[in-house]
Amino acid sequence: MADSSSVGTAPSPATSNRSTTPTSDNFRDFISSGWAGRPDVPPSPRAQAAFAAARRMRVAARFPGATLVIPAGPAKVRSNDTDYPYRAHSAFSYLTGWASDTVPGSVLVIGPGDDAPSTLYFTPTAGRDSEEFYANAAIGEFWTGARPSLAHVAADLGLETRPLGELAVSGEQVLVLRGLDAAADALAAARPEDAELLRAVSEVRLVKDEYEIAEMRAAVAATKSGFDDVIADLPQIIAHERGERLVEGTFNRRARAEGNAVGYDTIAASGPHACILHWTRNDGPVVPGDLLLMDAGVELDSLYTADITRTLPVSGTFTEVQRRVYEAVREAADAAFRIVRPGIRFREIHAEAMKVIAAKTAEWGLLPVSAEVSLELDHQYHRRYMVHGTSHHLGIDVHDCAQARRELYLDGVLEPGMVFTIEPGLYFQPDDVTVPEEYRGIGVRIEDDILVTEAGAENLSAAIPRTAAEVEAWLARP
């Protein structure tokens, strides 16, 4: 990596112990001249622009008379002077349509009024006659590439654009999405309603528009390709002492090839690691005879992500006990899916899956009471083997709409256009003496992405093999 110590205007040797950027007038004159013209042709508005405009109107309608400030957020430091790959805050991308190509530090201001006039503030590309062009490692073109112009972004997103240095707001009521950008926070004194702004953006995202649903379909398709890649690489994965890392790397390659990145850290959990719900260390071997629980999703350039889990027998076929556990989990998933339709409450999906989990663990003699008694709120013994919930909303965040009120989320009524996961599991820890030894160390989860339709529901990930027989045939393909 090139030395990036010359942040800001070119420092002198007295102000930096690493900089070698020339500071002479002769150099500045030479580097600022001799460049060919570069016409800036404004593009047609991107497909998401019209949808983003409608979203801004819906959010603004919740705060009549208020000016709303939505920062994208700055880059975040990973180590010393290196940053994590940049990702704008989801609320900003949702309301602007600017996604993986967002300029860090941008701020959206939605003005008051029925038409919710909006302005996007960002730092445009630096002129080649400026020191910033070559000496600023944070935003200089030599370091990070050319930034779009104000006119380019205005045409692309259908928004008025201004330089970030002109950021200002007015009005009696200014609400800020706080904690993302210190400069944005300083625009107005904190108000109790600020917290309601993030909640409002979460709640309007509960029902996806046409653009979002199309992106979810594409994210699922790319994710299926990533799973296919992992299966194709299984011989190399098995041969490596840290095969879980190879699973992660193979899937991440697909995510970068077809999207922006992964939507969350890939879980590549083999053997007893599959009993750790959020295993992301991924440093263990992938051993024939074990199960590989793979929870992964491709995040597209629009930032919409899939979230899929499949549990694969590494040797190609399930043992009798593995198949028993696997098919019990699939039965729970199928039972939950069958009841999905507009008008039911979100919490009913989990309850339906738990009926199967309780029945199966009772049938196997793992519970101290009957399944019916275990399902009562003051017992829940079966939850020892599945402590997580069955569903969460999905979209521009992997755990989408997380700030929505409970009465609209867990207790909410399903509507067409909602997208969420169904992901029951069974996890028998390797040291759990409440289960027979043959079950210990087995972890199974099956997760699909579900769209609520007018008539019921669609499993967006149904094309990814699900039954034990389908999974074995998948692994056997040449």
Interval 239-253: pLDDT, tens: 999 999 999 999 999
Give the predicted TM-score (pTM) of the model.
0.95
Q: Using alpha carbons only, what angle is made at residue 309 by residues 305 and 311, rounded to the nearest 5 degrees? A: 160
Instruction: Enumerate domains of the chain plus CATH numbers.
Output: 25-204 (3.40.350.10), 210-476 (3.90.230.10)
pLDDT surpasses 70 at 13: no
Catalytic site residues? 81, 278, 295, 307, 388, 392, 399, 423, 427, 445, 447
**pLDDT at residue number 114:** 75
Burial of 416 (0-12, 13-18, 19+ CB in 10 A): middle
- Residue-wise pLDDT tens digits, 362-394: 999 999 999 999 999 999 999 999 999 999 999
Sign, CA dihedral 222-223-224-226, equals: positive
What span, in angstroms and rounded, lies between the C-alpha atoms of 269 and 278? 9
To which H or E segment does residue 77 belong? strand 77-79
At 364 the pLDDT is: 98
DSSP character at residue 450:
E
What value does the CA radius of gyration of the chain take, rounded to a whole number of Å?
26
Residue 38 pLDDT class (50, 70, 90 cuts): confident
| CA atoms within 13 Å, Cβ hemisphere of 418 | 30
* Torsion from C-alpha of 413, 327, 229, 304, nearest 10 degrees: 10
Map tokens 């729970």 to a residue: 332
Pairing of strands 118-122, 107-110: antiparallel
Query: What does the alpha-carbon distance between residue 261 and residue 407 come to, in Å, rounded to a whole number?
Result: 33
> What is the spatial distance between Cα 150 and Cα 154, in angstroms, rounded to a whole number?
6
Strands (E), 297-418: 298-299, 308-313
pLDDT at 138: 84
| pLDDT for 19 | 74
CB 313 within 8 A of CB 324: no
Instruction: Identify the CA nearest to 198 among candidates 414, 405, 412, 407.
Output: 405
Cβ-in-10-Å burial (0-12, 13-18, 19+) of 320 comes to: exposed
Q: Answer yes or no: are the C-beta atoms of 103 and 162 closer than 8 Å.
A: no
Mean pLDDT of 85-113: 96
Residue 429 has pLDDT above 90, yes or no: yes
